[in-house]
Structure 1
Amino acid sequence: MDRRVFLKSAAFAGFSIATLPATLLRANADGSKILRMAYGAEVLTLDPIKTTYGADILIQGMMYARLLHANADRTEVGPGLAESWDIADDGKTYTFHLREAKFSDGSPITAEDVAFSWNRMRFQKDSAYAAPFQPLTKIEAKDARTVVMTLDRKFTPFLTLTEIWNTGIVPKAAVEKMGDDAFAKAPVTSGPFKFVELKPGDRVVLGRNEHYYRQGEPKIDGVEFRYVPDDNTRVSMFQAGELDVCLGVPAPRMAELKAAGFRADPEPSSTTYDMLINHSAEPFNDLKFRQAVSYGIDRTAINAAVTLGLGTPASSIMSPTLDFFDKSLPVIARDVEKAKALLAESGKTGASFELIQNAGSADEEKAAVLI
């Protein structure tokens, strides 16, 4: 998810992707097949431990292999870089047995690389998303092909966590030689695609990793991941054949694309649309005022108007598509009288505030107006 802070006034959970129908990718002049994608957010870093940002996560998922690999609907995980694993009877020790694999520079992926990658993700101070791994206390290479991880308690989600983006395996030698900053701009990868080029504010270009451990994969020669912030510009480029995949499509354009013969079937998304607030500044430094605003927002109506029924009213910053989501959480219903009473209790009846939304986002603009 791109946004991490949440007032319980989120209007709806989002949806994404439209792609071309079942046609082959157009070959470049040199005969190569490059998947051209565009997204409304810019890639900021290529280091998997340094981000929780949507664009970074999307591109890094193509660049780095993880210990385990999720199936298409994410209901279970299976072998990845680890071809097998053992769990101790007490549930606190996990032993991963690695397959033979190589990085994009041809060097072998060893247990030392895995332990290095996980230790920097778990313990490095600027690791952006170590919180879910708090039960993990020790990661060590037992031998060249065996990694042992020790937890301080039984933790059911642990295996699922071994395949999220920030557990992508990086080469210890390259990171230590280049340093974090340089590596984040031109990394050596372990996944299906290798780094080719980063143009800040424009695009990331990836090529087929000929050393990828999954034989015959990937089936294309590369990916061009472009930053196009305006929703309608992105869709127009897609319609004109400049893109093969358009990520982030305004709901009204979905029906238009489908009618034109494009594949435009939104998949469940982990995106949520949130109203972010500053709790330390007037007028939102008062709990009653925050509650008044929350009760004044009609999430159900906004969801219907913005997503045309493709999204769902949000009950949490977390999407219902995520594992372990509590589906019993209620959507806060609009209650004008309660909002007025809370506003009076806050003593801020004359207060006002501005909503600032991302330029070019049609859905966000409509939601902001309705809020």
Structure 2
Amino acid sequence: MSQPVELPRWMDVALLPAVNLAIALLVAGGVVALVGFEPLQVLGLLIKGAFGSQAGISYTLYYATTFVFTGLAVAVAFHGGQFNIGGEGQAIMGGLGAGVVALALSEHLPAALMLPLMVLAAAGFGAVWGGIPGALQAWRGSHTVITTIMFNFIASAVVGYLLVNQLKEPGNMTPESRAFADSARLPGVHDVLARIGIEWPSTPLNLSVLLAIAAAVLVWLALWKTRGGYALRAVGFSPDAAVYGGIQPKGLVVMAMAASGALAGLVGVNEIAGVHGRLIPDFVAGAGFAGIAVSLIGRNHPGGIVLAALLFGALYQGGSELAFEISGFSRDMVFMLQGLIVLFAGAMAQVAAPALFKAYKALGGGRHG
């Protein structure tokens, strides 16, 4: 049986994902050609739709903001030795937290107080929803993959019940809350730019993009620059060795899952406070599951996750444009491309590693290592 190839860090983090992405694009191009479309035309229109205009860039960044949150959520849990598939439910509960606080307080508090409270509520509700499976894993041995999947369904049912029976706006047939007061609306980027004299098209992109950047930086600092982060990664890498070194894994498992849930909960800030201005059902729309792919492609590192989130944001936005530009091109083709990227970045991530390692050695790499 062949042994796994140990690539240099820079190749494992940067080059291998790029090669896997290129392979996925080549395979997708072949499939596109087989169904009667021109691969280069499709790729060109996808890139143009995602980055070819101010509106396209804004929508790409808007989608990427959500994927940064969910990708970081998966990565933090992964470094603690857990596989969190509950980002969807944690994001839903985060939206519930932000929405409940806004409905209760937005008519009485200024934006300077209201918006931070919504951020804290979204993170807090998500943290609780992620921490419970973490506690069940730590003290009862319940596998987080199973419990987080189940908690997705519970979260959806809880929010659905509340929107139908408790929070629905009177006289509105749609199961959604009343609109928040202006103090609970996160400013759009186009509004901020307009204040300094820059014209920008109105899009859903809002200031939560800055929150996503801050979250990525804080996760990097917490995991790689603090003693707690070192302990968490030690538990994820080898729980037995961590215990031998004096680290107690149970509390760290709960902490990792709670932090993971808090990050996923911030999706509610982007969607509920930044876009909809009211609590609505199904605002997550699969972003929690997409975060798994984003984290895999980003090699569970905040920098890689930001880049992977931009890639998926471009796929979402560019795919929408393709449906308008090319007759007969459906969103299913975009989902196929996403699936291939996940396949080559996840299950087949190491397929290209031996060839890359041989090329690296042939070029003289590692002679002094």
TM-score, normalisation: structure 1: 0.23
In our comparison, the structure showing a higher alpha carbon Rg is: 1
TM-score, normalisation: structure 2: 0.23
Structure ranking higher in strand proportion: 1
Structure ranking higher in helix proportion: 2
Which has the higher relative contact order, 1 or 2, with Cα contacts under 8 A spaced 6 or more apart? Answer: 2
